[in-house]
Amino acid sequence: MCGIVAAVGNIDPEICRKMLARIAHRGPDDTGELGISNIWLGHQRLSIMDVEGGRQPLADQAESAFVVANGEIYNHTELRAQLSDVEFGTGSDTEAALHLLRLHGPAALPRLRGMFALAFALPDGGFLAARDRLGVKPLYWARRPDGVLFASELRAFEPADRPAVRSFPPGMYWTPETGLVRFADAVPASLREPPARPIPWQRVTRQVRETLVASVEQRMMSEAGIGVFLSGGLDSAIIAAIAARWMRANGRKLPTFAVGSAGSSDLVAARLIAEWLGTEHHEIELTEANVLEALPEAVRVIEHYDPSLVRSSVPNLLLARYTVGHVHAVLTGEGADELFAGYSYLHEPPFTEPTALHAELVRSVSELHHLNLQRCDRTTMAFGLEARVPFLDRAVVETALSIAPEDKLVRPGAREKQLLREAFAGWLPEEILWRPKEQFGDGSGAADVLNAAAKELLTRIHEPIASSPDVRLRDESESLYYSLWRKELAGIQVADTLGMFATT
């Protein structure tokens, strides 16, 4: 996991170096840069795979192609086997992507399984930028009169360039010759309509279990330690159960990390799960003092002012700060509620109708990169911690959306995510397996602590709270977050933030 900057055109390299320095937190282990033809590539490295040899920008043996990448290519071992005639110089997963792109160009992109944002260059000036199909990894770009800039975070860009910054769309690549081209959809066209016939329940639960187990195990690759963010809810508990089983089989103990206020139901549940699984468990207690300190930082880090996003980011930020002292990568439960209809609003009209429910699940999965995945990436990468999201593996997404929406509805005698619960019967304590879903702020006790901290912060602000004719600020807390956001990211267009930036 890393931070990248790239430029195409006649852009001053010193601008690019300053951009890279602004995202040094994403990769504290190393810095690399390369200027070739009219292209500049920069990389801040967080060493996870091939710690010794995976330095970027990465070149092939003949220095005929170069790449910088942020993310992980989980099927790199399979790709290496398919490229049996290629001489590999490192054990880095990124090198598989480099050779595949060198040999096949943009046609290589659909073969990459994982989360990535990358920039690829050739000595003759050939260039390609791309982002994974779900947008798990961030990428932004800005057009200037003298060229095009790319970076992992908004804050990387010069203030003068920020009004032109846009989110690079997931599942697309760009070259100077072709412009934007789609290489993959977040949800394949064949799955955008509900399945015609329900699959037998037992077969469905087995498919879900086997696919998710494979996804977690694929994401256990790390030379720098890996753990699980354990919220106390069903989704992270399932991830922890699979990861703990894999760790035991490999003679190791899984580290788990939980956050909440003293005595909160999430902390109690996480402790129970950890004891059941035999993990090396760590807890962070939320207090008004540490939340007050983290609140402005959360707004700056996530580059957003949405109240629900800010409130959920504060505990994650505190947890990530602690966790990076123990491991360099964690698994999280992002995506499960969108795939298996976990949110309470999905069990109210109009989503009690199967077709409407399926359409909403497809929409919410396709737009995860706007909010939840942005929070997940920023709060962890603020401290050089890599977050991996097993529920959003391509095979898991396709399996989940091939399930009839009728099987995800809450009926008498059934709970939300009934299918997921039954798929992992016996893997967790019964009281966890059937624990009702709570909003993160409620279960962790964060909501009360955050509200108190926001009120305290408001009393300390001696400048006017910001307002804007372009956006409706719903309450005083949101106005406070907006003030902090606008101060940090001067120049970003307010209208763009409403959809987390236009995609073209």
The residues spanned by each domain of the chain are: 2-182, 189-492
259 among annotated binding-site residues = yes
Single out the residue of 426, 443, 377, 32 nearest to residue 170, CA to CA.
Answer: 377
Residue 2 is among the residues annotated as catalytic for this protein? yes
Single out the residue of 70, 125, 63, 64 nearest to residue 92, CA to CA.
Answer: 70
Please report which residue ranges of 444-493 form alpha helices under DSSP H.
446-460, 476-488
Q: What is the DSSP track for 218-268? A: HTT--SS-EEEE--SSHHHHHHHHHHHHHHHHTT---EEEEEEETT-HHHH
The CATH architecture annotation of domain 2-182 reads 4-Layer Sandwich (3.60)
- CATH homologous superfamily of 189-492 equals HUPs (3.40.50.620)
Give the pLDDT of residue 479: 81
Give the pLDDT of residue 503: 34
Residue 342 Cα distances to 211, 235, 445, angstroms: 19, 10, 20
Give the pLDDT of residue 236: 97
Give the whole-angstrom CA distance, residue 266 versus residue 230.
9
Give the whole-angstrom CA distance, residue 149 versus residue 32.
17
Joined together, the tokens standing for residue 7 give 């430029």
Joined together, the tokens standing for residue 356 give 């409407």
Check 1, 2, 341, 484 and give the catalytic one. Answer: 2
Backbone angles phi, psi at 65, to 5 degrees: -160, 150
Contact call for residues 461 and 483 (beta carbons, < 8 A)? yes
pLDDT tens, position by position, 238-283? 999 999 999 999 999 999 999 999 989 999 999 999 999 999 999 9
Q: Which helix (H) or strand (E) holds 340?
A: helix 336-340
Give the pLDDT of residue 73: 96
The SS3 assignment for 452 reads: helix
Give the pLDDT of residue 464: 57
51 among annotated binding-site residues = no
Which residues of the chain have a pLDDT value below 70?
A: 1, 47-54, 438-445, 461-470, 490-504
What is this structure's pTM? 0.92
Give the pLDDT of residue 497: 38
